[in-house]
Structure 1
Amino acid sequence: MRKVLSSVFVAALFFGPASGALAQNIKVGTIFPMSGPAGPSGIDAAAAVRVQVELLNKKGGLLGRKIVVSQKDDESTPAVGVSRANELVGEKADVIFEGRNSPVALAMQPIIAAANILDITCSAKAEAILSGKGNAMAIRIISSNEIDAEAIANYVIDIKKANRVAIMVQNDAYGNDFRQLIENRLKAASRPIEVVLSEKFPFRHTDFRVPLTAVKAANPDAVIVINAATSGMSALIEQYRQAGITAQFVAGITLLTPEVVNASKELINGIVSGSGYLPELEPLKDIPAAKEFFEAYQRETGRAAGEEAGIAAQAVAVWASAVRSTNSLDKTVVAQAIRGKGVKGTNFGDVQFAENGQMLTKPSLFRVVDGPAWRLELVK
C-alpha cells in the first residue's frame, strides 16, 4: 500500500532540512578605479574589501549567510561609474562600497539611492557627498575635506608658522572644495597669512613644470598639494625636487599612497602629510581586528595595506557591525544604526559617526624620514 508523504518530508525534499539551508548569499558590490591615474589605489581598496569579506566568511558570514563580492572598475570617470552602479543594481547588490574620486561618487549616489541599496563611500572627500542631495542616507569612512583642511591649516599656521603659502589642487569637486576650505581657514588665522599662489590642474595631468616655475617665483614658505592621481602625485613630487623648490611640501591627507611612495622613493623624504590609517602605530596597533586585517592583507596581496586598503576594510567592518546589531540588511535600518551613532567592534575599535554620516576621525600628521623604508616621524 502506498504511503502518503508527509508535508514536512515534501518540504524537506524541495527546500532542504533547515529553513536557512538555501538562504541566498549576501552580495557586496565595489566600485573603485581599477585602471587609469587612480587605478593602483582602487586596486588596493577592492582587494581590501575581498580580504575583509573573507575574514567574515571564515567566521560564518553575516546573518548565517555567505558574503560574495562583485567588483567593478569606474575608470575614474563619472559616466563609467554610473554604468557600473547600474550593473550592481541589476545584480541586486545588498550594499555598495565606492568612492576614490569625488566626481564619480557624486554621479553614482542618485543611482544607488534610487535603487534603495546601502551606499558607503570609502575615500571620496568632497563635502557634497554628505549633503543629502544625492543620497539621504550617506555614510563616509575617510576624513572629510573639512577635517583635512583643519589639520593641515593647524600645521601650516601653528607648527610651520608659515607666512606665505602656495596651493596646488586638482580642478574638480575634491580639489576645489578643499582649496576653498583651506583658504578660508588661513584667512581666519590670528595673524596675516598670504596665499601667494593658487594653481589648478586637470586630474589626469602629469606635467607640472610650468606651474612649479610659478610656485618657485612666488617664494612661499609652504606649498599645499592636493593630487589624488597616483601617477600625477608621483610626477609632481619628482618635478618639485627637480625645480629646486625649498618650501615645505605639504601633501593632502591620505595622498601618499604606497604606489606614490614606491615611485618617489627618497624624493618623498621631508614631505609632510597625514593619515587616518597607520596600523603599526597607536591606537590601531593595539586593536586585534586591525592587526588581523593587516596581516591577512599582506598574506593575500604580498604587500602592506595602505590608507586606501585600510579605509575600505573599515567600511566593511562598520557595515558588518551594524548588520549584526540590527539583524537586518535593510538599507534604512542599517544606515540609521550608523549615522549619528557609535559603532562597536570595527577595525578601528569603537567609532562614532556624525548625524550626516561622517565617521569622526582625526588624521595623524607625519613627516617622511625615509621614503624607501616608509619610516615616519609624527608631527605634534
Structure 2
Amino acid sequence: MRKSVVTAVAGLAALAVTATGCSGKSAGDKPDIEIGLISPMSGPFAVLGISQQNSLNVEIERINAAGGLNGSKVKLVVRDSALDPGKAVQAANELAGNDAVKLVIGPSLTAFYDAAKGTYEKNKKLNCQPAVSTGSFSGLKYGFRSQDPFDLDGKAVVDWLKKEGVKSLGLVYDADDTGKNTDALLKKLLPEAGIKYLGWETSRADDQSHRAYVEKFKDAGAIMLSSSVGGSKTMAAAAETGFKGKLVGAGSGMQNISFIEASGDAADGAVFPAALYQYPERLDRSQWLPGYRKHIEAVEAKYGKNVGPKTGATSPKGTAIAADCVYVFEQAVKSTKSTDATELAKAIENLNLTAQQTPSGNAIQPGPSHEFYHQVHLYQWKKDGKGWFTKEITAS
C-alpha cells in the first residue's frame, strides 16, 4: 500500500514537470509572441535600425505593461542586416521559418525586401515594411507597407515643382531598385507637368563625393536626391558647388538630420515628402496628434534625441511609422484572438484606424492595396535665428 502511494506521488510529480516544460514556466503560462526586426544596426545607416528598434521597444513595453496580448508577453528579436543583402536575406529566411515569430519588420530597403518577400509569402509570415518605398504590395497576402508610397511622394513633389515654376530636374540616386523605380516614375510625371527630365546620375555606395553628379545638373531648376545615406552626399555636394536650384527628396529620408549636417545652410528651403512628421515643426505640442505625441514623448523619455553637432538640428531617437507596425499587429490580434498569419492579414486589411490614435499620427486603412497610408505631407526645411525647423507646405 505504501509503495503504491509513493509510486502515485512520483507519477504526479513527473506529470507536473511535463506540464511546466523545461523553460521553468508555470502551468498555464503562454509562450512569448516574438516580433522580428531586420534592419541595419551597424554601419553608415545604423541610425535607421536603431530608431526602428527604439520605437518598437516603446510599443512592446506598453503592450506588456498592460498584460501582453491574449495572455502572452511580446518579445523583440533583432537581426542586423548591416546593409548587406546576403545578411538581410539570411535573416529573413531564418525568421520566416521560426514559428515563434508572428510578425517580421524588414528587411529595410526595397532591393532587400524584393529578395525576401517570396520567402515570407511561401512561409505565410506576416510582415510590415516601414523602410520600403517602392514596388507594389497589392499582390501580396502577408506583406504590408508602413511608409508613404513612392508614387504619392513623387506626385506631391512634382506638383509643387510645377507650382514653383521649375522647368528642369535631374535625379541623383543609388543604382538600386528604388533608384530604377524613381527614374521610371519621373519619366512619367515630369512630362505631364511640363518639366524637362535631365536624366539620372547613378551614385555608388563607395562614392566619397557626389560633386561630379551635381555639377552635371548645375543649371537644373531642381535636383532630386536619394532617401538613403547617399542623399546626404548629394546635399553636401550642392553646398560645395553653390547649386542655386531647388533640392527635393524622392522620399522621406531628408527628414533625417544627417542631411542637414552634411549640407548646412544649403538645406534651407529643401523640400521632402513624408508621412506625418510634426516633431521639427514650430508647433506647441498640444497641437500634435495625441497618439503621435504619446509615442514620441515615450521615445524621448527612454532614449533621448539626436542633436546635430554642427547645426544643432534635433530629431527623436525613434521612428513612429515603425511603431505603427506593432500597433496594427496589436489591434489585429485583439480582434481575432489569434496569431494565425492568415487571420491576422485579413483583419489588418479591414482595419480603419484614425489619425488620432496611431503612433505615427497617420490614418491607417490598408485595404487590398496593403498600404497603411494614403496621404503624404510635404515639408520644407527652414533656418532662422532660433535654429532649424520644418514648415508644412502640403497643398490643401
The TM-score by the shorter chain falls in which range?
A: 0.7 to 0.9
Q: Which moved more, 1:258-267 or 1:200-209?
A: 258-267
- Could you tell me whether the CA contact under 8 Å between 1:48 and 1:297 is conserved in 2? yes
- Could you tell me whether the CA contact under 8 Å between 1:164 and 1:194 is conserved in 2? yes
The alpha carbon displacement at 1:252 in A equals 2.2
CA pair 311-157 structure 1, distance change in 2 beyond 3 A: same
- Could you tell me whether the CA contact under 8 Å between 1:78 and 1:105 is conserved in 2? no
Counterpart amino acid of 1:96? V
CA pair 171-326 structure 1, distance change in 2 beyond 3 A: same
Residue 39 of structure 1, aligned match among 46, 49, 54: 46
2:94 aligned partner:
87
* Correspondence 1:243-282 to 2 at 5 A: 243-256=241-254, 257-280=256-279
Q: What RMSD in Å do the two structures reach over aligned CA positions?
A: 2.9
1:367 aligned partner:
380
Residue 174 of structure 1, aligned match among 178, 185, 191: 178
- Could you tell me whether the CA contact under 8 Å between 1:276 and 1:361 is conserved in 2? no
Residue 203 of structure 2, aligned match among 201, 204, 229: 201
Secondary structure, counterpart of 2:187 in structure 1 = helix
The alpha carbon displacement at 1:20 in A equals 7.4
1:53 aligned partner:
60
Q: Which has the larger Rg?
A: 2
- Could you tell me whether the CA contact under 8 Å between 1:48 and 1:310 is conserved in 2? yes
- Supply the distance in 1 between the matched residues of 2:90 and 2:358 (Cα, whole angstroms): 31
Q: Tell me if 1:122 matches 2:122.
A: no
Counterpart amino acid of 2:276? Y
- Could you tell me whether the CA contact under 8 Å between 2:81 and 2:107 is conserved in 1? no
2:310 aligned partner:
none
- Supply the distance in 1 between the matched residues of 2:343 and 2:145 (Cα, whole angstroms): 17
2:311 aligned partner:
none
Q: Tell me if 1:136 matches 2:141.
A: yes
- Supply the distance in 2 between the matched residues of 1:253 and 1:343 (Cα, whole angstroms): 24
CA pair 81-362 structure 1, distance change in 2 beyond 3 A: same
- Supply the distance in 2 between the matched residues of 1:284 and 1:139 (Cα, whole angstroms): 31
Secondary structure, counterpart of 1:318 in structure 2 = helix
Residue 319 of structure 2, aligned match among 296, 306, 309: 309
- Could you tell me whether the CA contact under 8 Å between 1:277 and 1:306 is conserved in 2? no
2:115 aligned partner:
107
2:84 aligned partner:
77
Secondary structure, counterpart of 1:255 in structure 2 = helix
2:391 aligned partner:
377
Q: Which moved more, 1:334-343 or 1:259-268?
A: 259-268
* Residue identity (%): 21
Secondary structure, counterpart of 2:349 in structure 1 = coil
- Supply the distance in 2 between the matched residues of 1:162 and 1:354 (Cα, whole angstroms): 36
Cα-to-partner distance string for 1:325-355 (whole Å, 9 max, x where unaligned): 1111111111111225424643236521141
- Could you tell me whether the CA contact under 8 Å between 2:88 and 2:107 is conserved in 1? no
2:371 aligned partner:
358
- Could you tell me whether the CA contact under 8 Å between 1:275 and 1:307 is conserved in 2? no
Task: Give the TM-score of the pair, scaled to structure 2.
Answer: 0.83
The alpha carbon displacement at 1:8 in A equals 10
CA pair 258-12 structure 1, distance change in 2 beyond 3 A: farther
Counterpart amino acid of 2:146? I
CA pair 186-306 structure 1, distance change in 2 beyond 3 A: farther
Residue 358 of structure 2, aligned match among 343, 346, 352: 346
- Supply the distance in 2 between the matched residues of 1:145 and 1:349 (Cα, whole angstroms): 16
CA pair 316-375 structure 1, distance change in 2 beyond 3 A: same
- Could you tell me whether the CA contact under 8 Å between 2:252 and 2:274 is conserved in 1? yes
Secondary structure, counterpart of 1:235 in structure 2 = helix
Q: Which moved more, 1:236-245 or 1:193-202?
A: 193-202
- Could you tell me whether the CA contact under 8 Å between 2:270 and 2:381 is conserved in 1? yes
Q: Which runs of 5+ in 1 are unaligned?
A: none
2:71 aligned partner:
64
CA pair 286-210 structure 1, distance change in 2 beyond 3 A: closer
Paired residue total = 368
CA pair 263-297 structure 1, distance change in 2 beyond 3 A: farther
1:336 aligned partner:
346
- Supply the distance in 2 between the matched residues of 1:307 and 1:314 (Cα, whole angstroms): 16
- Could you tell me whether the CA contact under 8 Å between 2:239 and 2:264 is conserved in 1? no
The alpha carbon displacement at 1:285 in A equals 5.0
2:153 aligned partner:
148
Counterpart amino acid of 1:346? T
Q: Which moved more, 1:337-346 or 1:118-127?
A: 337-346
Q: Which runs of 5+ in 2 are unaligned?
A: 307-314
